[in-house]
């Protein structure tokens, strides 16, 4: 694997849209547009990316993404559209039977399908849009409609794999900005990291959240995930959890890779975040893990601190 001339990909999800606001499934329909809050957030992304050299922009052709790109460029301070490519492969997942329906309507009207969508996305299927074709019967003709089934998640993953195969070899050593959708960005990140369609829902992509992938110059292996769903530029310390999401939330820190200055910055950044417990390990003689935890938790006197021994941790090479 060769990293000396790697390709960097910055992924951004579009800003909050009218369908997001209304709690409706968007899919690859093109009725939804950015709200005022979505426009403001897109400009904040642009300001955050000021100073980042971007060689080319790839974007979905749907309006909510094109509007995001426009506002993002305003935030960066440029109107140069020469390097923007609208690519069909980046449109949102196709959900023809659900597009425009509210989340509540889908849960109630398609209960079994919804359960499959959430629990077994790789098996999820729905009726596709009717395909029409002409029939000649004697001296007359007729139009018939053929109903077919589609596998939205599998189809999406096939589509984004083709995108990576087509695009990456053209941009060795460059920085790409990709502006897409929640579902599409899920699939782009998953395929780059070797995650299967069965794991489609494990990655969160907030509106105007930023993720960063690094690809080795020989594209001989999976990508390196540098950042996932950053929302600090939107005024959030940590991304807001999607509605209905519960359970344990883990913040993983590489203790041996953080400088004293970085640890101090992180401690201040997490100062207002509620931390229920801390888990550190004696993985080295200097006990860097415990020292890092103590520096961060000085602002969190009620946090339960736990320590485990080296043999309890599985170490990856």
pLDDT > 90 in the chain, percent: 62
Assess contact for 313 and 281: CB atoms under 8 A. Answer: yes
Q: Using alpha carbons only, how large is the chain's radius of gyration in Å?
A: 23
Assess contact for 36 and 71: CB atoms under 8 A. Answer: no
Confidence of residue 153 (pLDDT cuts 50, 70, 90): very high
Whole-number pLDDT of residue 139: 60
Distance of CA 118 to the CA centre of its chain: 17
Between 9-13, 66-70, 81-85, 184-188, the lowest mean confidence (pLDDT) is in 81-85
Task: Report the pLDDT averaged over residues 274-299.
Answer: 78
Mark whether 215 and 301 lie in a shared domain: no
Q: Residue 27: give its domain's CATH number.
A: 3.40.50.1240
Whole-number pLDDT of residue 238: 85
Identify whether 268 is part of a domain: yes
Assess contact for 179 and 57: CB atoms under 8 A. Answer: yes
Mark whether 165 and 218 lie in a shared domain: yes
Whole-number pLDDT of residue 254: 72
State yes or no: pLDDT of 283 exceeds 70.
Answer: no
Between 72-81, 95-104, 180-189, 250-259, the lowest mean confidence (pLDDT) is in 250-259
Mark whether 161 and 280 lie in a shared domain: no
Pairing of strands 126-127, 149-150: antiparallel
Mean pLDDT in the chain?
Answer: 87
Whole-number pLDDT of residue 102: 98
Mark whether 283 and 228 lie in a shared domain: no
State yes or no: pLDDT of 171 exceeds 50.
Answer: yes
235-247: per-residue pLDDT in tens?
998 888 776 666 6
92 assigned to active site: yes
Identify whether 307 is part of a domain: yes
Mark whether 282 and 203 lie in a shared domain: no
From the candidates 14, 89, 200, 300, give the one annotated as an active-site residue: 14
Whole-number pLDDT of residue 81: 54
106-146: per-residue pLDDT in tens?
999 999 999 999 999 999 999 886 555 555 555 655 555 55
Whole-number pLDDT of residue 317: 44
Mark whether 227 and 287 lie in a shared domain: no
State yes or no: pLDDT of 305 exceeds 70.
Answer: yes
194-236: per-residue pLDDT in tens?
999 999 999 999 999 999 999 997 766 789 999 999 999 999 9
Between 68-72, 110-114, 239-243, 276-280, the lowest mean confidence (pLDDT) is in 239-243
Mark whether 163 and 290 lie in a shared domain: no
- Torsion (CA) 201, 91, 59, 121 in degrees, nearest 10: 10
Q: Please give the DSSP secondary-structure letter assigned to residue 300.
A: -
Selected residue with higher pLDDT from 280 and 34? 34
Burial class (CB in 10 A: 0-12, 13-18, 19+), 163: buried
From the candidates 67, 71, 92, 99, give the one annotated as an active-site residue: 92
Q: Give start and end residues of each alpha helix (H) in the chain.
A: 18-22, 36-48, 63-76, 103-109, 111-119, 152-167, 182-193, 260-269, 288-296
Number of domain units in the chain: 2
85 assigned to active site: no
Identify whether 91 is part of a domain: yes
Domain membership of residue 275 as a residue range = 255-312
Task: Report the pLDDT averaged over residues 255-276.
Answer: 84
Using left for φ > 0, alpha for ψ between -120 and 50, and beta otherwise, residue 173 falls in left
Assess contact for 16 and 35: CB atoms under 8 A. Answer: yes
Identify whether 164 is part of a domain: yes
Identify whether 242 is part of a domain: no
Identify whether 317 is part of a domain: no
Handedness of CA 84, 206, 72, 76 (dihedral sign): negative
Task: Report the pLDDT averaged over residues 10-18.
Answer: 98
Rounded to two decimals, what is the model's pTM? 0.85
Whole-number pLDDT of residue 241: 79
Identify whether 113 is part of a domain: no
């Amino acid at each position: 694997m060769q990293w000396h001339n790697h390709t960097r990909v910055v992924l951004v999800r579009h800003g909050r849209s009218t369908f997001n606001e209304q709690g409706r499934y968007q899919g690859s329909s093109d009725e939804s547009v950015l709200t005022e809050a979505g426009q403001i957030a897109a400009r904040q992304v642009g300001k955050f990316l000021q100073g980042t050299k971007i060689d080319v922009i790839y974007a979905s052709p749907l309006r909510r993404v094109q509007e995001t790109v426009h506002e993002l460029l305003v935030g960066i301070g440029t109107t140069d559209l020469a390097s923007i490519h609208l690519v069909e492969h980046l449109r949102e997942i196709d959900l023809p039977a659900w597009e425009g329906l509210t989340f509540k309507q889908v849960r109630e009207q398609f209960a079994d399908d919804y359960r499959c969508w959430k629990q077994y996305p790789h098996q999820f299927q729905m009726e596709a849009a009717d395909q029409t074709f002409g029939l000649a019967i004697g001296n007359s003709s007729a139009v018939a409609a053929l109903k077919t089934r589609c596998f939205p998640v599998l189809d999406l993953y096939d589509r984004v794999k083709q995108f990576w195969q087509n695009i990456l070899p053209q941009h060795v050593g460059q920085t790409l900005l990709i502006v897409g959708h929640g579902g599409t960005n899920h699939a782009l990140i998953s395929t780059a990291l070797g995650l299967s369609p069965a794991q489609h829902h494990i990655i969160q992509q907030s509106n105007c959240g930023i993720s960063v992938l690094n690809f080795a110059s020989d594209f001989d292996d999976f990508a390196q995930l540098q950042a996932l769903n950053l929302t600090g530029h939107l005024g959030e310390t940590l991304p807001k959890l999607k509605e209905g999401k519960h359970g344990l939330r883990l913040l993983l820190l590489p203790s041996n890779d953080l400088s004293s200055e970085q640890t101090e910055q992180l401690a201040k950044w997490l100062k207002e975040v509620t931390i229920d417990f801390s888990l550190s390990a004696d993985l080295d003689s200097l006990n860097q893990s415990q020292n890092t935890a103590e520096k961060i938790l000085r602002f969190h006197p009620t946090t339960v601190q736990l320590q485990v021994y080296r043999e309890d941790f599985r170490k990856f090479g």
